[in-house]
Structure 1
Amino acid sequence: MALTGLSRCTYALWLAVVLDVVGLVTLLVGIFGNMQRGGRDYGDMLIYTGAIVVFASLIGWVFWYTGNIEISWEELASDYRPRDTKLHRIVRKISRSISMRNGDGRAAKAGTIRDISPHPKRGDRGHQEERGSKAEEPQRVSAMD
């Protein structure tokens, strides 16, 4: 019976195993070996180096483990389908309100994009002067008149 879990991400697995072996050997040599040369003790350096190499092997183990996680297409599709929950609606509303703001923090007017277009539509050529000015308010008519 073949182990299918070991067949994928073999480089990450070998990286993790080699770093573990090198780190453990370095650590043990630093602990039990008499590493003095020229009156200096190098045992502490080997202990720290071995610990760092063993810690670095965690990268290979994490890559190997995550590379071997199996998930079906149906389960993947059910996890990433668009949801319409209350939280999603709130986030969408906040996102839209932020994206409708100008760079100075003020809310953009509804017609801002149309007003700054460089090419006016046909029929608008006579009204270019009025774009920047305020439109006149309509006269109010009361029911008594």
Structure 2
Amino acid sequence: MGKDTSVGGSGLTHCKFVLVFAVLMDLLGVAALLIGVFAPLEIRGRDFGDLLVYSGALLILFSMGGWVMWYSGNIEGLAFGKELTYKRSAVDRIARSLSRRIRRPHRSPSEP
């Protein structure tokens, strides 16, 4: 009877700019493709239909990249390393100890 808040209520609101980009590229690509196929575009004896067909196909390809970015930006529920219950491996321990050594400022023996 109301909104379903069990998922968090946020919906698919992340990455709005990428969503607008993908939809815009889809619309422009399909329009260019259809105009290139069905409209007789001849200027000074040269046919520009092929240019619009190829341009439309490229715009649709760019939109597919936008859809992939938008979809991957809306994936929720990924677990982070701290949330997972796993046994730390030797590589993980070595990486953490090296990271701590790099971040820690080095002191010379003459400093207090």
For residue 19 of structure 1, what is the aligned residue in structure 2? 25
Q: Give the alignment's TM-score, normalised by structure 1.
A: 0.51
Q: How well do the aligned residues superpose, as a CA RMSD in angstroms? A: 2.7
Q: 1:75 to 1:82 in 2, by over 3 A?
A: closer
**Aligned mates of 1:54, 1:26 — CA distance in 2:** 10
Q: Could you tell me which of 61, 65, 75 is aligned with 1:69?
A: 75
1:38 aligns with 2:68: no
Query: Which of 61, 64, 74 pairs up with 1:55?
Result: 61
The 1-side partners of 2:86 and 2:47 are apart by 57
- For the pair shown, which has the larger CA radius of gyration, 1 or 2? 1
Q: By how many angstroms is 1:77 displaced?
A: 2.9
Following TM superposition, by how much is the alpha carbon of 1:55 offset from its aligned partner in structure 2, in angstroms?
0.2
TM-score, normalised relative to structure 2: 0.64
Structure with the larger RCO, 1 or 2 (CA within 8 Å, 6+ apart): 2
Which 4+ runs in 1 deviate beyond 4 A?
Answer: 72-76
- Using the TM superposition, give the Cα deviation of residue 34 of structure 1 relative to its aligned residue in structure 2, in angstroms: 0.6
Once the two structures are superposed, what CA deviation does each residue of 1:23-57 show, in whole Å capped at 9, x if it has no partner?
A: 00000000000100111100001000000010011
- The code of the aligned residue for 1:31 comes to V
Q: Percent identity?
A: 37
Gaps of at least 5 residues in structure 1 are 93-145
Query: Using the alignment, how far apart are the partners of 1:62 and 1:80 within structure 2?
Result: 30
Amino acid at match of 2:37: I
